[in-house]
Structure 1
Amino acid sequence: MKTVRRLLYRDIVGAVFFVALAFLSLFFFIDFVDELEDVGRHGYTLPMALISSLFEIPGHLYELIPIAVLIGTIYSMARMAQSTEFTILRTGGLGPGRALSLLAVLGVVFALITFVVGDFVVPASEREAVRVKAAASGGQDLGRTGAWLRERRATPQGGSHQVSLNVQRLAPDGALEGVRIFEFDEQGRLQERIAAARARIDADAVWTLQDVQRTVWPPANAASATQAQAQTPVQVQLERLPELRWASNLGADVVAAAVLPIDTMSTVELWRYTEHLSDQEQAAQRHAIRFWRKALYPFACLVMVALALPFAYLHARAGGISYKVFGGIMLGISFVLLNNVAGHLGLLRDWTPWLTAAAPSIFYLLLSLAAFTWLVRYR
């Protein structure tokens, strides 16, 4: 059995490697051509475009591993079936259950590789890609409205009030630019507004604000008493400070999740940010679905090897290898399409996040097991 395992694994791993290499070369070429359009703008050079395209490779690899596993395994199984190698292995005692268990072990290995790439390599490479582009343009704009964050703070009276923060730009050195902080009382009235040119977040979630303009409105009850007694307008406090340390519950990880692309987040970071959004009574459905998709995505490799095994039981004359590989490509495309459609529908329909993320894999796993059972029993 060790010889059979070595034969299968060596053939499948080699095919998966070459399929992944071919796809990555194609995607690198496409990304590099897209980056060439920005060369010469805002100091963006050709080496920066090349480096940025290289940093995109881990993200493509993460998305392509299950598809490469499917196509590579189908090619290997179809080639062995056409050359009667798999028929000889079946005659030698390789039953359907044993073949499925052998491929399942290989699928677990590919799943571990997918998890490592997606949780460790991709976030680091995506952050570096953002840093390269920000360094070339002098910073990263966060859209017309910027990035918004919110936190609730407890009051001594047992209630809570809301603090909203807005960040307009991310500097190349990681500092936040164009920071605005709005603090409201329990009735939703604006109490304080802080505008800072730059901000950095310490390890203790303390914000160091620079070039600060602070505006403070008196509490509503104090303002009403002052107006009733003196019939004078309420004085609003306005001050300018070179630096201000502002304590917050929003740490650097939460802010990074809000201002950086979602691909820069690992599974644990997605979970923490989803919990933060839920605690702040903000919409968390999108990030919850993304968390479950990222958590369950490595298991797609197990589904792919199970989907590829029935091709080994097809008769050698039932289409050539090219037709079977083409069928594998279509299956892979349909899996990616269904995965994306399920995510969008789950967001629109407010479906259960884990079920939305798991539905495509469950469907294709049942499809593969049904095809495998039919081929073994009736063919």
Structure 2
Amino acid sequence: MKRINAYLMRTVIGGSLVALLLLTLLDWVFAFLAEIDSVGRGHYGLAQAMLFTLYTEPQRMYTLFPTAVLIGSLLSLGNLAAHSELIAIRALGVSVAGVVRSALMAGLLMIVVALPFGEWVAPDAARTGQDLKVSAESGQQVVREGSNIWARDGDRYIHIDHALPGRRLEGVSIYTISPVGQMRLALHAASASYKDGAWLLQEVQRSEFEDMQRIVVDRLSQLRIPALISPRLFDLLDARPAEMTLPALARYVGYLKHNHLDAARYELSFWQRFTTPLSALVMLMLAIPFVFGSQRSGGAGQRLFIGIVVGVGFYFLNRLSNQVGLVFGLAPLLSAMLPLGLFLFISLFALRRLR
């Protein structure tokens, strides 16, 4: 029985990895073609577009993981069924529940590997790719460390503690340096917002260095400046859930709620971090009825095709549920769990009919 379990697990894992590789290659091609529209903005060329799509592909790859598990398990287990190997395994006394158990063990093993990849490797790579694109398109040098952002614009160095939705900034510092490397002006603001083509800074402290011995300090309730960072650059620097680890995402959700800001998009992404690996297990459970069902009728290819359509349908239904939830103000947990719960019910119903 151990050898049979190991064989089934190797089959499921091998098929899932092949499906994931093919889906990833296809996804990267479409992502690169879509990114060509941005080529020519600033110094953003084909080489930068290729690097950007390569850096952001791990995040999309992790999103495709459940669909790849379904397609891969369907093809690999379907191949066993086509060669009557599943019949032989059943003849040895292995029940449908036993096959499901082996498949789920393979799924858990893949999740153990996929979780660190999706929680640390993918967000860090996506953040690196986004910074590369920002720097190339805007011509400004941008460095990010967590929520902190450093940008250079000519002789000005800009530091931002937080970039918030709605073109709002918190903790803004602007340092103007002379050509000989001396500080000329230091400006600190508690917050900033973009309105009517300019940036409005709140609670400002302005320090002007007239010479090495004299510093003039002014405090202003508001200060309007025409240029801080361009709105387009801000849109690119806006904190993205895909670029955050799970702990960072949880802290950011708490920060937004504490400041009475809309956190729905980030809270939804937080719950999706749990539903994505669980979706892979549900897809495995859903694959078993298609494989065993294909043994009882001649339409094996048709059933496999339907299974693949179901996997792609889950991917799009999941995205649709997320967008509908954001538009109509549904609870983020409900939006994240609804597609998973629906397909879990379908898979359990189908498995029950096999017994």
By the TM > 0.5 criterion, same fold? Answer: yes
Runs of 5+ consecutive residues of structure 1 not aligned to the other structure: 141-170, 180-195, 217-236, 247-254
Deviations 1:51-90 (A, max 9, x none): 2221122022101111010011111222222221111111
Structure 2: how far apart are the matches of 1:238 and 1:16? 57
Structure 2 match to 1:159:
none
Structure 2 match to 1:94:
94
Does 2:140 correspond to 1:173? Answer: no
Runs of 5+ consecutive residues of structure 2 not aligned to the other structure: 162-169, 177-184, 190-203, 210-214, 220-233
Does 2:175 correspond to 1:210? Answer: yes
Q: Aligned match of 1:323 in 302, 314, 334?
A: 302
Does 2:12 correspond to 1:53? Answer: no
Matches within 5 A, 1:183-332: 198-200=157-159, 208-211=173-176, 241=208, 259-316=238-295, 318-332=297-311
Structure 2: how far apart are the matches of 1:320 and 1:113? 35
Per the alignment, do residues 328 and 122 of structure 1 end up closer, same or farther by CA in structure 2, a change over 3 Å counting?
same
Quote the offset at 1:119 in angstroms.
Answer: 0.7
Structure with higher Rg: it is: 1
Quote the offset at 1:23 in angstroms.
Answer: 1.2
Quote the offset at 1:239 in angstroms.
Answer: 5.2
- Helix, strand or coil for the counterpart of 2:159? strand
Structure 2 match to 1:21:
21
Quote the offset at 1:213 in angstroms.
Answer: 7.6
Does 2:323 correspond to 1:344? Answer: yes
Structure 2: how far apart are the matches of 1:10 and 1:320? 26
Structure 2: how far apart are the matches of 1:34 and 1:256? 18
Q: Is the contact between residue 12 and residue 103 of structure 2 (CA under 8 Å) also seen in structure 1?
A: no
Structure 1 match to 2:83:
83
Quote the offset at 1:238 in angstroms.
Answer: 9.1
Structure 1 match to 2:134:
134
Per the alignment, do residues 345 and 36 of structure 1 end up closer, same or farther by CA in structure 2, a change over 3 Å counting?
closer
Structure 2: how far apart are the matches of 1:48 and 1:329? 34
Structure 2 match to 1:221:
none
Deviations 1:138-197 (A, max 9, x none): 457xxxxxxxxxxxxxxxxxxxxxxxxxxxxxx423444599xxxxxxxxxxxxxxxx95
Q: Is the contact between residue 120 and residue 266 of structure 1 (CA under 8 Å) also seen in structure 2?
A: yes
Q: Is the contact between residue 110 and residue 301 of structure 1 (CA under 8 Å) also seen in structure 2?
A: no
Instruction: Tell me the number of residue pairs that the alignment of Structure 1 and Structure 2 aligns.
Output: 299
Per the alignment, do residues 84 and 215 of structure 1 end up closer, same or farther by CA in structure 2, a change over 3 Å counting?
closer
Per the alignment, do residues 302 and 215 of structure 1 end up closer, same or farther by CA in structure 2, a change over 3 Å counting?
closer
Q: Is the contact between residue 112 and residue 298 of structure 1 (CA under 8 Å) also seen in structure 2?
A: no
Code of the residue aligned with 2:143 in structure 1: it is D
Quote the offset at 1:34 in angstroms.
Answer: 3.0
Code of the residue aligned with 2:114 in structure 1: it is T
Structure 2 match to 1:356:
335
- Helix, strand or coil for the counterpart of 1:314? helix
Structure 2: how far apart are the matches of 1:337 and 1:46? 29
Code of the residue aligned with 1:241 in structure 2: it is E
Quote the offset at 1:342 in angstroms.
Answer: 2.0
- Helix, strand or coil for the counterpart of 1:241? strand
Structure 2: how far apart are the matches of 1:271 and 1:215? 28
Code of the residue aligned with 2:11 in structure 1: it is D
Per the alignment, do residues 298 and 256 of structure 1 end up closer, same or farther by CA in structure 2, a change over 3 Å counting?
farther
- Helix, strand or coil for the counterpart of 1:351? coil
Structure 2 match to 1:228:
none
Q: Is the contact between residue 267 and residue 295 of structure 1 (CA under 8 Å) also seen in structure 2?
A: no
Deviations 1:274-318 (A, max 9, x none): 111111111222221221112221111110111111123214362
TM-score norm. by structure 2 comes to: 0.74
Per the alignment, do residues 197 and 262 of structure 1 end up closer, same or farther by CA in structure 2, a change over 3 Å counting?
farther
Structure 1: how far apart are the matches of 2:337 and 2:269? 11
Structure 2: how far apart are the matches of 1:26 and 1:56? 14
Code of the residue aligned with 1:373 in structure 2: it is R
TM-score norm. by structure 1 comes to: 0.70
CA RMSD of aligned residues (A): 3.3
Code of the residue aligned with 1:292 in structure 2: it is W
Percent identity (aligned) = 26
